Amino acid sequence: MTVPNVKLNNGTPIPQLGFGVWQVPDDGARDAVAEALRVGYRSIDTAKVYENEAGTGRAIAESGLARDEVFLTTKLWNSDQGFDETLRAFDGSLERLGTDYVDLYLIHWPVLEYDRYVDTFKAFQRIRDEGRAKAIGVSNFTVEALRRVIDETGETPTVNQIELHPGLPQDELRAFHAEHGIATEAWSPLGQGESLKDPVITEVAAAHGVTPAQAILRWHLQLGNVVIPKSVTPARIAENFDVFGFELSADEVARISAVPGQRIGPDPATFNLR
């Protein structure tokens, strides 16, 4: 099965479907990533704060795949923001990952109150110019924070990775991203499992003979989102990858977009943990 690529605004292709490893311990990440690569995923999303960069990197190295066959994302943690701090933190991530570059480096949260994300992004530009990150982007950025990065660095981040699932379709941010050529990457795309029980989703899934998780992932793909579901269960890892053999109608996409719900994670406008 071939996963389509989304072309980022710097020309770098990112697989539209990848695999996330939040809340997976380091050893478990090694196993889960190995399984995901075996099934066919070619994009892996980790972060310094997940404490599983080492296991993730080992699984990639042991997979038998060439490094350039896997799109690897990691993220800078909040306490590492600032120009010099970022350069140091990035060295640590590369060392744990056991690689000399990442495909995508993201600022994990803007931490608006700390107000260091513009300087942090300038350090990201240096890392990218050195060839140690193929693309640079952000996560959990508000429209206001995106505007400041664009205005003050003259560069538009390639990606904004945000909480997005049925019940939180993020229409305003998706419209801003579309206008500025920023790819929308959806975290907690399955609502951490919560969205799977919604009656609209179970009905749409049944109509296509697929599972609720597959129907939701298909909804993301048809909206144009890059999506990174997580599971440590081999059957689910395979199930979440098997989403290219059916298509939702425009009406089904609209019905899933209208499912009621709310944010599960912190609100980026007020999340100031360091």
Annotated binding site: 108
**Which of 233, 249 has the CB closer to ligand NAD?**
233
- With contacts defined by CB under 6 A, name the span among 2-10, 95-103, 184-192, 198-206 that binds ligand NAD: 184-192
- Strands 71-76 and 43-45 turn out to be parallel
Cα separation, 83 vs 122, in Å, equals 7
- CB distance 117 to 77 below 8 Å: no
- With contacts defined by CB under 6 A, name the span among 31-39, 56-64, 151-159, 234-242 that binds ligand NAD: 234-242
Four-residue CA torsion sign, 56, 112, 227, 106: negative
Cα separation, 116 vs 90, in Å, equals 16
Among 196, 223, 244, 253, binds ligand NAD (CB under 6 A): 196
Q: Shortest gap between Cβ of 69 and ligand NAD (angstroms)? A: 20
The encoded tokens of residue 187 equal 């975290």
Neighbour count for residue 167 (Cβ, 10 Å): 18
Under rule CB under 6 A, residue 132 binds ligand NAD: no
Indicate the annotated binding residues for substrate: 108
Please report, as residue ranges, which positions from 64 to 93 form the binding site for ligand NAD (by CB under 6 A).
none
Please report, as residue ranges, which positions from 24 to 63 form the binding site for ligand NAD (by CB under 6 A).
45
Q: Shortest gap between Cβ of 115 and ligand NAD (angstroms)? A: 19
The encoded tokens of residue 235 equal 């059957």
Q: From residue 124, how far is each of 51, 83, 132, 158, 216 by CA, in Å?
A: 21, 8, 10, 12, 33
Cα separation, 196 vs 200, in Å, equals 10
Catalytic residue, chosen from 50, 101, 114, 117, is 50
Q: Which amino acid is at 243?
A: V
Q: Shortest gap between Cβ of 168 and ligand NAD (angstroms)? A: 11
50 is catalytic: yes
Which residues is 106 bridged to in the sheet? 75, 137
Q: Shortest gap between Cβ of 108 and ligand NAD (angstroms)? A: 6
Cα separation, 179 vs 21, in Å, equals 30
Token pair 């480096």: residue: 105
Among 6, 8, 17, 21, binds ligand NAD (CB under 6 A): 21
**Which of 64, 108 has the CB closer to ligand NAD?**
108
- With contacts defined by CB under 6 A, name the span among 2-10, 130-138, 201-209, 227-235 that binds ligand NAD: 227-235
Among 8, 76, 210, 213, binds ligand NAD (CB under 6 A): 213
User: Which residue lies nearest ligand NAD, judged by its C-beta?
Assistant: 20
Choose among 126, 148, 182, 154: nearest CA to 9: 182
Catalytic positions: 50
Binding site for ligand NAD (CB under 6 A): 20-22, 45, 108, 139-140, 161, 187-193, 196, 213, 228-231, 236, 239-240, 265
